[in-house]
């Protein structure tokens, strides 16, 4: 039987960081180099910089006017003006020009009057050095311009050159060797991604981590992918450990507990394992060790785990090598739109979407899987749940670490509710029409959206709730659950709902009644979604028990996720919209055409962002894009179909 790794003595994140800090002293580990100042932006000075010359290095006029000796102007007033003579006790001068040796002030040109005989009349005195930039006003020769370990900014370039400094000594960039491993990995260069064989995975982590290294001020070398072979991985890692130009090593993949996860074995064979496993999610399997005195990390293969492991453990070492303090995230208080559970004993990094609704910043959690890279790319912030807390409650304020500027978050239209593909079209058109506003959608089902409006946690909610008593949509639910809340109901689209099945319908499914067949596996939508309510209504109407449907308990949160489940073969059918089926080339069996509408609290209807959204919804551009998706009807799109009170 193949040997498997076992997580022994897992460390807390705080303890893991302490171990790294005490194991690797960054002092003096990097070499230095001298660069022209213009090429040194974002680099870190390794020595103090002293000004060679003063700036300005001569007395210079700060304004256009006449240069004078101040004492020649004393006593001048409107009632007793003084007359000066050009070339004798007054000299015309422009901003930046050298002051005459005998002058020590400038009268601005607006305050002088030239008489017909050439005399210069002044009606107010000036004091010594008024409107003059004296030698060294900005920089004095020999003064400390920048201390060592200061990062060079574009602004600093101007100061350095003005002080006569044309070259500076900086720390060399920390060099990181990145070694992707895994027999399943494939390089993306020159391949057709649609022809990727099952079981093969495009290597994205090594490129992503390389750019994270660069963002920290380092540089990286990416080695070719090595299959799961402990000797081949060992050879590559040893080569890097022996290379004086490599400061840190990242082995990507192979850090977990599988029989072909070799990172720990390689580090243990040639150096010391400092820890294997950290009580954080994502990123738990991370390994840290030392070979030839160099830090070596086993980075988990799931992309979000890789990011968290890098940011929490690798980044502090890179900043330490450059003698820089670690970045401090900006934090704000946010209000979760729903309860977020967490396990005791594990520090969890929950990715969230953020937006300002009223006077609160609301947070909606994204998918928490370590393999969901979009949970980072779509995230506006991260909520860190400590290892001694079981979770956070909805509506209770918690701290979030911002990933986007607060101004962007304050200009986000927060949509919480049912999923529909037209929301993606809206989001794109909002960005096309405005550089300020964005639309952020979180998919929690129609009832979840209704409750988010009730709790004041969103600007709009997409809903399609069927009233099984009379066949109408949405209004009866609003009247029941939001009886005192002033709201508008804006019609977005009518859309075709039906069964999504594989191309050519290999199991010859004809309708909902076929879902009880033993050879049919179903994929459902989550409880509280409008699609789930529709399904349950149809089952009840037909007298079918959900217990007889294989897969009824298997839930997804979007129509596209249902379609992917069918495409991948994990299900034979799922109830969803035609547009989702068409997007993935799947077949579709119509069941009903329903109304999908936006529920909008009255207080937001006349805001600038909502007026923009309404204009886009009513535009020909939106209707045309929606029509191209298929399965949508836009005759009433943009109409206010109901309001209360």
Q: Alpha carbon 313 to chain centroid distance?
A: 19
Given a cut of 70, is residue 260 above it in pLDDT? no
Do residues 218 and 152 share a domain? no
Mean pLDDT of 379-388: 94
pLDDT tens sequence across 465-491: 999 899 899 999 999 999 989 999 999
Residue 6 is predicted with a pLDDT of 53
Cβ-in-10-Å burial (0-12, 13-18, 19+) of 143 comes to: exposed
> pLDDT at position 375, please?
85
Q: At what angle do helices 263-270 and 230-242 cross, to 10 degrees?
A: 50
287: closest CA among 313, 260, 317, 319? 313
Cα four-point dihedral sign 538, 542, 545, 551:
negative
Residues 385 and 267 grouped into a single domain: no
Q: What CATH number corresponds to the domain at position 164?
A: 3.90.105.10
Alpha-carbon distances of 358 from 361, 416, 504, 606, rounded to whole Å: 8, 15, 50, 14
Of 350, 384, 404, the one marking the end of a domain is 404
Q: Could you give the CA distance from residue 539 to residue 545 in angstroms, rounded to a whole number? A: 7
- Give the per-residue pLDDT at 194: 87
Q: What is the pLDDT of residue 8?
A: 54
Structure letter (DSSP) for residue 123: S
Q: How do beta strands 347-357 and 340-341 pair?
A: unpaired
The total domain count for the chain is 5
Span 28-57, pLDDT tens digits: 789 999 999 999 999 999 999 999 999 999
CA-to-CA distance for 597 and 617, rounded, in angstroms? 11
Final residue belonging to a domain, choices 296, 321, 346: 321
pLDDT given for residue 270 in this prediction: 95
CA distance 604 to 174: 50
pLDDT at 4 over 80: no
pLDDT of the residue at 190: 84
Closest CA to 81 of 57, 112, 50: 112
Between CA 428 and CA 440, with CA 434 as vertex, the angle to 5 degrees is 50
- What lies within 8 Å, CB to CB, of 7 at 6+ separation is 257, 276, 277, 284, 285
Does residue 461 sit in the same domain as residue 512?
Answer: yes
How much of the chain, in percent, has pLDDT values that exceed 90?
87
Please give the residue range of the domain that contains residue 519. 446-644
Confidence of residue 358 (pLDDT cuts 50, 70, 90): very high
Whether residues 165 and 203 fall in one domain: no
10 Å Cβ neighbour count for 406? 15
Rg (CA), the chain: 34
Do residues 470 and 591 both lie within one domain? Answer: yes
Angle at 234 between CA 231 and CA 239, to 5 degrees: 130
CATH number at residue 484: 3.40.190.290
Residue 187, phi-psi category: left (phi > 0), alpha (psi -120 to 50), beta (remainder): beta
Predicted confidence band of residue 65 (pLDDT cuts 50, 70, 90): very high
Q: Is residue 439 part of a domain?
A: no
Task: State yes or no: pLDDT of 553 exceeds 50.
Answer: yes
Same domain as 514, residue 388: no
Residue 462 has pLDDT above 60, yes or no: yes
The answer to whether residues 184 and 315 belong to one domain is yes
- What's residue 60's pLDDT? 96
Assigned domain for 430 exists? no
Domain for residue 228, yes or no? yes
Domain-located, residue 256: yes
Residue pLDDT, tens place only, 404-423: 999 999 999 999 999 999 99
Asked if residue 388 and residue 369 are part of one domain, the reply reads yes
What's the confidence (pLDDT) of residue 1?
Answer: 38
In this structure, is residue 431 part of a structural domain? no
Which pLDDT tens digit goes with each residue over 555-614? Answer: 999 999 999 999 999 999 999 999 999 999 999 999 999 999 999 999 999 999 999 999
- Write the CA distances from 161 to 35, 39, 55, integer angstroms: 13, 12, 10
Report the CATH number that the domain containing residue 223 is assigned in CATH. 3.40.980.10
Residue 214 CA to chain centroid, in angstroms? 17
Q: How far apart are CA 54 and CA 253, in angstroms?
A: 55
Domain assignment present for 3: no
CATH number for the domain spanning 366: value is: 2.40.340.10
Please state the rounded mean pLDDT for residues 288-292. 97
- Do 532 and 553 have their domain in common? yes
What tens digit of pLDDT does each residue of 168-201 get? 999 999 999 999 999 999 999 888 998 899 899 9
pTM, 2 dp:
0.86
CATH of the domain at 87: 2.170.190.11
Question: Torsions phi, psi of 457, nearest 5?
Answer: -110, 10
What does the DSSP assignment read for 204-240?
-HHHHHHHHHHHTT-EEEEPPPB-S-HHHHHHHHHHH
According to DSSP, the β-strands at 331-336 and 398-402 are antiparallel
Clarify whether residues 551 and 637 are in a common domain. yes
* Residue 55 resides in a domain: no
Which pLDDT score is estimated for 5?
Answer: 52
Please, which pLDDT band fits residue 118 given cuts at 50, 70 and 90? confident
Spatial separation of the C-alpha atoms in residues 319 and 327, rounded to whole Å: 9
Show which of 321, 342, 364 is a domain's final residue: 321
3-state secondary structure 520-546: CCEEEECCCCHHHHHHHHHHHHHCCCH
2: in domain: no
- CB atoms under 10 Å from CB of 45, counted, come to 23
Shared-domain flag, residues 309 and 192: yes
In this structure, the answer to whether residues 474 and 611 fall within a common structural domain is yes
Most distant pair of Cα atoms in the chain: their distance: 112
* Residue among 233, 236, 177, 237 nearest 209 (CA): 177
């Amino acid at each position: 039987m193949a040997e498997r790794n076992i997580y022994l003595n897992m460390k807390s994140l705080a303890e893991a960081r302490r171990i790294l800090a005490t194991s690797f002293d960054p002092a003096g580990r990097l070499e230095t180099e001298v660069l022209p100042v213009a090429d040194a932006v974002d680099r870190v000075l390794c020595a103090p910089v002293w000004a060679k010359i003063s700036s300005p290095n001569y007395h210079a006029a700060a304004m256009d006017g006449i240069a004078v000796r101040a004492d020649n102007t004393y006593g001048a007033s409107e009632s007793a003006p003084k007359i000066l003579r050009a070339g004798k006790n007054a000299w015309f001068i422009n901003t930046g020009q050298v002051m005459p040796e005998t002058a020590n002030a400038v009268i601005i040109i607006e305050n002088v009057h030239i008489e017909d005989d050439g005399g210069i009349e002044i009606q107010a005195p000036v004091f010594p050095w008024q409107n003059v930039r004296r030698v060294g006003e900005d920089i004095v020769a020999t003064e400390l311009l920048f201390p060592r370990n200061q990062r060079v900014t574009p602004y600093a370039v101007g100061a350095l050159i003005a002080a006569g400094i044309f070259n500076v000594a900086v720390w060399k960039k920390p060099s990181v060797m990145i070694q992707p491993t895994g027999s399943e990995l494939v390089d993306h260069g020159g391949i057709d991604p649609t022809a990727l064989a099952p079981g093969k995975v495009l290597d994205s982590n090594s490129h992503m981590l390389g750019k994270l290294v660069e963002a920290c001020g380092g540089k990286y070398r990416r080695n070719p992918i090595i299959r799961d072979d402990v000797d081949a991985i060992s050879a590559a890692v040893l080569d890097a450990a022996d290379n004086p130009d490599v400061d840190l090593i990242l082995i990507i993949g192979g850090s977990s507990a599988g029989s072909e996860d070799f990172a720990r074995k390689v580090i243990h064979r040639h150096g010391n394992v400092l820890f294997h496993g950290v009580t954080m999610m994502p990123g738990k399997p991370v390994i840290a060790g030392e070979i030839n005195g160099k830090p070596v990390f086993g980075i988990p293969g799931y992309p979000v785990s890789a990011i968290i492991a890098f940011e929490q453990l690798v980044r502090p070492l890179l900043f330490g090598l450059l003698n820089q303090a670690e970045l401090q995230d900006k934090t704000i208080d946010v209000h979760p739109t729903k309860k977020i559970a967490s396990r005791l004993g594990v520090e969890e990094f929950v990715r969230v979407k953020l937006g300002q609704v009223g006077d609160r910043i609301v947070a909606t959690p994204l998918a928490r899987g370590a393999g969901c890279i979009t949970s980072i790319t779509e995230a506006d912030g991260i909520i860190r749940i400590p290892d001694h807390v079981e979770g956070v409650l909805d509506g209770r304020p918690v701290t979030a670490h911002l990933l986007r500027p607060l101004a962007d978050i304050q200009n986000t239209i927060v949509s919480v509710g049912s999923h529909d593909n037209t929301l993606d079209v809206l989001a794109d058109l909002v960005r096309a029409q405005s550089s300020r506003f964005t639309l952020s959608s979180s998919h929690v089902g129609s009832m979840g959206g209704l409750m988010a409006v009730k709790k004041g946690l969103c600007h709009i909610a997409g809903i399609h709730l069927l009233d099984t008593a009379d066949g109408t949509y949405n209004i009866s639910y609003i009247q029941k659950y939001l009886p005192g809340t002033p709201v508008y109901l804006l019609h977005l689209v009518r859309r075709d709902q039906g069964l999504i099945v594989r191309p050519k319908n290999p199991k010859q499914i004809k309708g909902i009644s076929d879902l009880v067949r033993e050879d049919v596996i179903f994929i459902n939508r989550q409880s509280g979604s409008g699609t789930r309510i529709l399904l349950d209504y149809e089952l009840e109407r037909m007298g079918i028990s959900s217990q007889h449907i294989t897969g009824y308990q298997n839930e997804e949160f979007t129509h596209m996720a249902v379609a992917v489940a069918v495409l991948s073969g994990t299900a034979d059918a799922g109830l969803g919209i035609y547009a989702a089926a068409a997007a993935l080339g799947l077949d579709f069996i119509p069941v009903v055409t329903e109304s999908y509408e936006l529920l909008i609290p009255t207080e937001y209807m006349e805001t600038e962002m909502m007026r923009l959204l309404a204009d886009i919804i009513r535009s020909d551009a939106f209707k045309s894009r929606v029509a191209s998706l298929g399965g949508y009807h836009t005759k009433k799109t943009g109409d206010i179909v109901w309001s209360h009170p």
